């Protein structure tokens, strides 16, 4: 009988949180409200977000004479922040942006409006473009257009607007998820 009780112990299964990331790939430790954290998504987000933001700045700067500009660059930058939100939730998004979305939006409006209206102070038509030429050691001769400041304002407006929408819709989705989770836990008890 003693031999029957000494059966080979069952192989233990994986722990409950075995698929959860063991290290933080993103800034926050808070678990998103809409599901478990994904290590793959966190790694991909960490690798892609800087490249996406650099590409958005390229679109912003090159957009005056080529496809792109403030609107296209702002949309691309916004998608980097949406990826960050999907990977880590609202706390991760808040950790990844330099200011609150309404502030970014207001700065963009101020910069675009100021750049558009500044020529009026000098008796020129609205949105008049000026060019400055100067030499930089590595880049050589550089042409800086005043339209770039207008485009930067548009870029900030688009980023601020998309971040505001993501924050508003995301907060609603996360609140519904937390409510569903609380209701489910209450039903189990």
Please give the Cα distance from 173 to 152 (Å, whole number): 31
Output the pTM of the full model.
Answer: 0.75
Residues facing residue 132 across a β-bridge? 144
Does residue 166 sit within a domain? yes
Q: Which domain covers residue 65, as residue numbers?
A: 25-188
What is the pLDDT averaged over residues 125-150?
89
Count Cα neighbours of 39 within 13 Å in the Cβ-side half-sphere: 7
Residue 159 lies in a domain: yes
More confident residue, 6 or 13: 6
Residue 27 has a pLDDT of 61
Q: Does residue 11 belong to any structural domain of this protein?
A: no
Decide if 19 is inside a domain: no
Residue 93, both tokens? 């998004």
- Residue 10, in any domain of the structure: no
Half-sphere exposure of 31 (CA within 13 A, CB side): 12
Which helix (H) or strand (E) segment holds residue 148: the answer is helix 147-188
Question: For residues 181 and 183, what is the distance between their CA atoms, to the nearest angstrom?
Answer: 5
**Would strands 140-145 and 131-136 be described as parallel, antiparallel, or unpaired?**
antiparallel
> Is the pLDDT at 28 greater than 70, yes or no?
no
**What pLDDT is recorded for position 187?**
53
Residue 20 lies in a domain: no
Residue 21 carries which DSSP code? -
Residue 143 has pLDDT above 80, yes or no: yes
The total number of structural domains in the chain stands at: 1
Instruction: In whole angstroms, give the CA distance from residue 112 to residue 127.
Output: 10
Asked if residue 2 belongs to a domain, the reply is no
């Amino acid at each position: 009988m003693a031999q029957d009780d000494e059966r080979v112990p069952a192989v233990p299964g994986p722990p409950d949180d075995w698929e959860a990331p063991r290290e933080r790939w993103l800034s926050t430790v808070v678990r998103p409200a809409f599901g478990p954290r994904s290590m793959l998504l966190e790694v991909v987000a960490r690798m892609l977000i800087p490249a996406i933001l650099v590409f958005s700045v390229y679109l912003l700067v090159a957009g005056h004479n080529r496809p792109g500009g403030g609107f296209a660059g702002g949309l691309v930058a916004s998608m980097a922040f949406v990826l960050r939100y999907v990977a880590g939730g609202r706390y991760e998004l808040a950790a990844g942006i330099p200011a609150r979305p309404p502030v970014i939006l207001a700065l963009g409006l101020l910069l675009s409006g100021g750049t558009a209206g500044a020529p009026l102070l000098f008796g020129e038509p609205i949105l008049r473009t000026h060019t400055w030429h100067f030499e930089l050691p590595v880049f050589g001769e550089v042409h800086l257009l005043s339209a770039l400041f207008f485009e930067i304002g548009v870029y900030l407006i688009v980023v601020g607007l998309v971040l505001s929408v993501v924050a508003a819709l995301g907060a609603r989705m996360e609140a519904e998820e937390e409510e569903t989770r609380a209701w489910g836990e209450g039903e189990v008890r």
